[in-house]
Amino acid sequence: MDPLFDFTGKVVLVTGGSRGLGRQMVLAFAERGADVVIASRKLPACEEVAREVEAKGRKALPFACHVGQWDAVGKLADAAYERFGRVDVLINNAGMSPLYPSLEEMSEELFDKVVGLNFKGPFRLSAIVASRMAKGAGGSIINISSTASLNPSPTSEPYGAAKAALNSITRSFAFAYGPKVRVNCIVAGPFLTDIAKAWDMDTFNKHSAPRLALKRGGEPNEIVGAALYLASPSASFTTGTLVRVDGGTP
């Protein structure tokens, strides 16, 4: 195995790790020697991915956690450290962008859920884990953002705003917890995960895909290269930055 991408002996915590981009990243790190903490709201889904990890000869901790809840992410961090004694890589992947009838009709409850899952939870979990990393051997934090944070985002304005806040703390936390902790962000474009099942694919293929340089949506496994790079020693001089993996979104 290339030593730059050998994660043997490392522990990787992935939120939203039971499906979509999160599952792809969990399996990619496990294939390269890492033990993995898989967090999402539904424990059976986490356990299913954990079995895939264990089939690769690695250890896995499936853990049910609502990442939008302040106290819940503290319990997640505690469970990870109790089981493995360390976290070397934290990937804040969990997110949601629900539909709503209009901006003025959006409820406060839904607004708070969107901001909680996409920003508040990652903020709290990063602070807890980064402080422990900084006191120990160091580590890498990777936030998964969205092009909605950089461009106008009709029908997903609160989501875009929350992801923009995630972009902002990427740089702030890099300075707050450096030099031992690196913090970076992947700005993801439209990926064809299970969430895309709710899309109008005819409209996407006709109007959205042609605007991308690659003329298509991304496959879930296409997030893996950027995540492995940012977590690895090959990115040792990369921190506080946004890496776009978006198919050439304008």
Residue 123 has pLDDT above 70, yes or no: yes
Helices (H), the chain: 20-31, 43-55, 70-84, 108-115, 121-135, 157-177, 201-203, 224-231
Residues comprising the chain, all counted: 250
Residue 202 has pLDDT above 90, yes or no: no
pTM metric for this prediction: 0.95
Short-list 160, 141, 132, CA closest to 240: 141
pLDDT recorded at residue 166: 98
Q: Looking at the annotation, which residues are catalytic? A: 159
- Do 36 and 11 meet the contact criterion of CB atoms below 8 Å apart? yes
Residue 198 has pLDDT above 80, yes or no: no
pLDDT band at 154 (very low <50, low <70, confident <90, very high): confident
Return d(Cα 124, Cα 231) in angstroms, integer: 20
Residue 114 has pLDDT above 70, yes or no: yes
Dihedral-angle region of residue 42 (phi above 0 means left; psi in -120 to 50 means alpha; beta otherwise): beta
pLDDT recorded at residue 207: 74
pLDDT recorded at residue 153: 81
Return d(Cα 198, Cα 244) in angstroms, integer: 24
- Domain ranges in the chain are 3-245
Cross-strand bridge partners of residue 35: 11
Short-list 7, 1, 52, 3, CA closest to 227: 7
For 155-163, what is the mean pLDDT? 93
pLDDT recorded at residue 148: 93
The two structure tokens encoding residue 31 = 């294939």
* Interval 59-99: pLDDT, tens: 999 999 999 999 999 999 999 999 999 999 999 999 988 88
Residue 172 has pLDDT above 80, yes or no: yes
* Interval 129-147: pLDDT, tens: 999 999 999 999 999 999 9
Q: Looking at domain 3-245, what is its CATH homologous superfamily? A: NAD(P)-binding Rossmann-like Domain (3.40.50.720)
